[in-house]
Structure 1
Amino acid sequence: MLKYEWIYSQLLTQIQTGSLQAGAKLPSIRQLSQQFSCSKSTILASLKKLEDQHLIYSMLKSGYYVVDHQLPIQPKMKNYIDFATSSPNWHAFPYQDFQHCINKAIDTYQADLFRYGTPKGLPSLIAEAKKLLTSYQLFTKEENIFITSGVQQSLSLLSIMPFPNGRSTILVEQPSYHLYMDYLKTYELPAMGIKRTTDGIDLDELENIFSKHDIKFFYTMPRLHNPLGTSYSKKEKDSIRKLAYKYNVYIVEDDYLADFEQNTKIDPLFTEDTQDRVIYLKSFSKIMFPGLRIGLAVLPNVLINTFQQYKNTTDIDSSMISQAALELYLKSGMFERYQKKVSEAYASRANQLQQSIATHLADYQSSKEICMHSHIILPRQVNTSKIIDHLAQQNILLDPIKRNYLDAFYRERIIKLNVSNIDESKIDVGIREIALALHNMSNYF
C-alpha cells in the first residue's frame, strides 16, 4: 500500500468512527506531515482522495473540515420479491456521472443559484428538452415548454386552473395513476371515470361522456399505461383526438414511460394534434430517479399565460441546481448513453415478466405488452386482499389496486405486477409463487 493510501485509510477511520465529527477541523497539513512522517505532497494526495469522496472540504486560508462521517450507503441484499414498488433501482443509476454534472452546474451557474430562477424554467434546459422531445417525435417551440417539479405539479396546476372551454369536470381512465387519483379525491375536484381494460376503452362510451358532461380534459396514458401496462393503437389514438376536437375537450397525455418504448414507430397523441388540444407531460422519475423532481409540460399557446400565472403562485421555479445538472447531463450525451443502457435492462426484465406470466399464469387475463408492469384479472371467487396478505407472509410484495380508482368507480379484481425494483433472476420465482397461491386459494373455494 502506498503511503498516501495508508494515511487516507487512517483519516477515513477517524471520520467513520466519529473521532472526527461533522464540522470538525482536521490538523493542518504541516501537523499531519509531522504526525505521519511524510512530505506535504503525500498529505495533500490523501486529503484529495477524501475530498473527492465528499467527506471533507477545504476553506481558503483556514484548512480542511469534515463534511460527514457517513460513506455512501451500499445496496442491501433483499430477502423479499417486490412487485409493489414502481421506483427504479437507485443503485443502477450512474450517480458519479450526475454528481459531476451537479458540481459542474454549481461552477457554471453559481451566480444564478443566488437569485430566483426563471418562471418557465432554465432557458438552456428548455433548449435541451426541445431537442430531447424530438426523439419522441414531438415537435414544439421552446415557448411552449415548461419545466415543472415533476408531473404531479403539472397535473395539480392543470386541474385547478380555468380552461378556455369553461368546463370543470376531469375525465380519467379507471384504473389510473394512483397519486393523481389521491389528488382528485383529497381536493374533492369534480371527476368521473371511464373503464380501461386490456382491450382499451369503449369509444362509444367516451363520445357519450364527452357529449353529455362538462368535460374539461381527459387524462390518459396512451403508452404503457400505469398500472395495466397496455397501450392504445394508432386507430384508437386517432379516434380519441377526433372526439376531443368534436366536443371541445382537451387531452392531458402523460407519457411517463416514453424512454422505454421499444417500437420507434409508436408516436404520442401530441404528434398528430392539429388543433392544439393535447397537453403533453413527461417525467424523468423512471429513467433517472424520483428525487430529481423535474418534469416537462408542453402546452398549447392558449394555455401558456394561465399556466404560468398559476405556477407562479405555487413556486417561483423548480430547483435550479437540479435543472442545471440535468441540462449538462443531456447536453454532454450522458443521458442518451444511460437511456439506452437502462432501457435495454428494463426491456429484459419486461420480457422475463411476460414469459413468466405466460408460463405460470396463462389462465388469467393479462396484458401482453412488453412493459415493466403488467396485471392479471382475478376471478370473482378470489379475495384479492387475502391473496396479497398471504403472499406478503411469503415475502412476495404486491400493491393493492384501490388507490388507482376513484372512490365511486367499480374496482376490478386486479393484481398489479411491477418489475422496476426486482432482480431479473427473481421474477420467475415470484410469479411462480403467485400462481401457486392463486391455485391453492381457488381450490379452497
Structure 2
Amino acid sequence: MKKYFAILSDMEEKIRDGHYRPGSKLVSVRKAAELYGCSTNTITRAYAELEKRHAIYSIPQSGYYVVDKEGSGSGQSEDGVQREGIDFSSASPDLFVFPYLDFQHCLNKAIDTYKYHLFTYGDPQGMAELRETLVRHLANDQVFAKTERIFVTSGAQQALEILAKMPFPNGKRTILVEQPTYNLYLRLLEIEQLPTAVIARTAAGISLQELERLFRNGDIKFFYTMSRYHNPLGTSYTTEERKAIAALAKKYDVYIVEDDYMADLGVERGFDPIYAYDLTQHVVYLKSFSKIIFPGLRLGAAVLPEQLIETFYRHKKYGDTSFLSQAALDIYIKNGMYERHKRAISSLYTSRMLALNEALKRHNGAGLIQASGVSSGIYTQYRLPITVNMEQLMSRLSAKHIRTVDGKGFYLPGYLEREKFLRISISRASEGQIDEGIAAIVEEVKRANHFY
C-alpha cells in the first residue's frame, strides 16, 4: 500500500512540475512497472486514480496522456476561458492540488449523515455544527470567538458587501480603503456609490500617522485591510503595525474589517492578526475557504463584534449557503483532511515563490523590476519604471501567451499616486514554467521601457 501511494505521489509531482507536458503520452503500464519496480496492477491502479483526478486521460489501444489544463502548461484563467501559456494572473488554486477524492468522501459522508436536512432551509447564521468546528479552527490563528459571533457566508465577498451597506454603531459613513487594494471590492464601492476615503499602502507598509489623522478627522465607519498576503502587493503588516491599528481603532471608535482570506497559505509562524490585539471588539475578522480548497465552494466565515451581530443578521436575511457544502466542510476539517491539505499546498506555494524570487534575481540584472520581496502567499508586486509603456508590455506578453495583471485596476479612478506594476500570482504557474515566464517578462519590460 505504501508503495502505491509513493508511486501515485511521484507521478502527480512529475505532472505538476512539467516533467510530463500537456498532451504528452505517459510510458506504458509495463514500462512504468519496470521503472518503479512494482507490479503492472499497481501502475494500472495509479493510472486509474490519476484519470479519476482528471490529471490524465486514456485512449483505447493507445495509452494514457496528460490532460491539457492549468498547472502543466495551459488552463483556465479567472474568466474561465481555456488558453495555452503561462498563467501569472489567476488567483484560483492549482487544479492539480485540488483535494478531489478527500472532499468527495466528505460530501458522501455529509449526505449519509444529514439526509433530509439537505432539503430544508438553513440558518442564516450558518450550520450550527460547522460554526462549533470553526471556533476551534479559528483559535489556531489566535481568533477566539463564541459560536454566536460566527457567521458562515458565501465567501468573503458576501460579508464585505453586507458590511459596506449596513449601518455601524459609531454612526459614521465613510469606508477607508488602501490604495492599492482588492479590485472587486473597489468596483462594488463604486457601483453602490458609497463614500470612501483612501490611504496609500506600498510594499513598505502604510503611514500610521496618516491613518491616525484619517481616523480622527475622516468620519470613518471602518477601515478595510488585508493584514497578510495583501492583494495585490503580497506583503504583510509587521507586528507593530497590527498592534497600532488595533489601538487606533479603540482610540477613535473606528471599526477594522480584516480580510484574512489567505490565512492558510503561508508557512510563517507566530503571525497574530489584528483581531488578536483587539480588546474592545472593534475588529471584524473575515476568512475564506475558496483559495485553499475549491473556488466554487463559496464558503467563508465572518467573526463579528457583538454589537454588529443583530444588524448583520437582518441584512443577511436567509440561509443562502449550501447546507451540503457546509456539512462537507465541517467533516473535512474535523477529520484532519483540511490541515493535511493546508500543509501540502502551503509548502508547494512557498516552493514556487522561492523559485519566482530566484528567477527574478537571475534575469533582472538591469534592475528594472522591483519586487515586493515576499516569500509566502501567492502574490507579489513587480514595480516597473514609470517610463514603461504598459499597453505595449501587456500586448507583447499576451502574444507570448504569458498572462499577468496590470496594477491599474487595484486603484480607485482618479487616484493620482498610482505605482506602475504587475501583480504576479504563482498559484497556477508550475515551477517548470516560472523561470521561462520571468525571463520573458524581464525581456518585455526592457522593450517597453522608453529609455532602455
Short-chain TM bin: 0.7 to 0.9
Shift of 1:358: 2.5
Deviations 1:416-437 (A, max 9, x none): 1111111111111111111111
Residue 277 of structure 2 is matched in structure 1 by: 272
Aligned equivalents of 1:188 and 1:339: distance in 2?
38
SS at match of 1:189: coil
Residue 399 of structure 1 is matched in structure 2 by: 405
Q: Is this contact kept in 1: 2:408–2:420, CA < 8 A?
A: no
Residue 120 of structure 2 is matched in structure 1 by: 115
Matches within 5 A, 1:133-172: 133-172=138-177
- For the aligned residue pairs, the C-alpha RMSD in angstroms reads 1.7
Q: Is this contact kept in 2: 1:352–1:428, CA < 8 A?
A: yes
Shift of 1:74: 4.5
Residue 342 of structure 1 is matched in structure 2 by: 345
Q: Is this contact kept in 2: 1:230–1:369, CA < 8 A?
A: yes
Q: Is this contact kept in 2: 1:136–1:267, CA < 8 A?
A: yes
Q: Is this contact kept in 1: 2:389–2:450, CA < 8 A?
A: no
Unaligned stretches of 5+ residues in structure 1: 1-48, 54-72
2:320 maps to a residue whose letter is D
Residue 20 of structure 1 is matched in structure 2 by: none
Residue 213 of structure 1 is matched in structure 2 by: 218
Matches within 5 A, 1:2-21: none
Q: Is this contact kept in 1: 2:173–2:195, CA < 8 A?
A: yes
Aligned equivalents of 2:387 and 2:121: distance in 1?
58
Residue 355 of structure 1 is matched in structure 2 by: 358
Aligned equivalents of 1:210 and 1:218: distance in 2?
9
Q: Does 1:102 align with 2:107?
A: yes
SS at match of 1:309: helix
Q: What is the number of residues matched between the two proteins?
A: 373
Shift of 1:75: 4.8
Q: Is this contact kept in 1: 2:390–2:448, CA < 8 A?
A: no
Residue 408 of structure 1 is matched in structure 2 by: 414
Deviations 1:245-267 (A, max 9, x none): 11110000011111022221111
Residue 91 of structure 1 is matched in structure 2 by: 96
SS at match of 1:192: strand
Residue 316 of structure 1 is matched in structure 2 by: 319
Q: Does 1:328 align with 2:331?
A: yes
Q: Is this contact kept in 1: 2:125–2:319, CA < 8 A?
A: no
Residue 249 of structure 1 is matched in structure 2 by: 254
Deviations 1:252-285 (A, max 9, x none): 0011111022221111110121111110000011
Q: Is this contact kept in 2: 1:75–1:91, CA < 8 A?
A: no
Shift of 1:441: 2.7
Cα 1:443–1:304 change in 2 (3 A) is closer
TM-score (norm 1): 0.81
SS at match of 1:281: strand
Aligned equivalents of 2:397 and 2:89: distance in 1?
12
Deviations 1:161-183 (A, max 9, x none): 11000011100111111111111
Residue 432 of structure 1 is matched in structure 2 by: 439
Aligned equivalents of 2:91 and 2:259: distance in 1?
16
Deviations 1:273-328 (A, max 9, x none): 1111110000011111110000000001111111111111xx43311111011011
Q: Is this contact kept in 1: 2:387–2:451, CA < 8 A?
A: no
Shift of 1:385: 2.1
Q: Is this contact kept in 2: 1:182–1:403, CA < 8 A?
A: no
Q: Is this contact kept in 1: 2:151–2:303, CA < 8 A?
A: yes
Aligned equivalents of 2:191 and 2:112: distance in 1?
42
Deviations 1:42-63 (A, max 9, x none): xxxxxxx9xxx8xxxxxxxxxx
Residue 46 of structure 1 is matched in structure 2 by: none
Q: Does 1:382 align with 2:388?
A: yes
Q: Is this contact kept in 2: 1:221–1:254, CA < 8 A?
A: yes
Aligned equivalents of 2:338 and 2:442: distance in 1?
38
Percent of aligned pairs with the same amino acid:
46
